[in-house]
Amino acid sequence: MKNNVKITRIKASITQEQLARKVGVTRQTIGLIEKGEYNPSLQLCVAIAKELNRTLDELFWEVD
């Protein structure tokens, strides 16, 4: 799944480790989400969006 998590996280000056701790997952999970190799649960998507101060659409909606 393509997403904007990595770009948004970098713009917010947050490391993968910091984001992972805030949302209760491992750094590896954040890395896999950013690469599109892991589809997070809706609960995790919401937690990431809240931490990055973005909407779900801004982070996870694919625009063709």
What is the domain partition of the chain in residue ranges? 5-58
Nearest residue to 51 (alpha-carbon basis) of 17, 4, 25, 14: 14
pLDDT tens sequence across 8-27: 999 999 999 999 999 999 99
Q: pTM of this prediction?
A: 0.91
Tell me the pLDDT band of 64, cut-offs 50, 70 and 90. Answer: low
Average pLDDT over residues 38-42: 95
Q: Which fold has domain 5-58?
A: 434 Repressor (Amino-terminal Domain) (1.10.260)
Quick check: 1 pLDDT over 70?
no
Contacts from 52-57 at CB under 8 Å and sequence distance 24+?
A: 52/5, 52/8, 52/9, 52/12, 52/14, 52/19, 53/12, 54/4, 54/8
Q: What is the pLDDT of residue 2?
A: 81
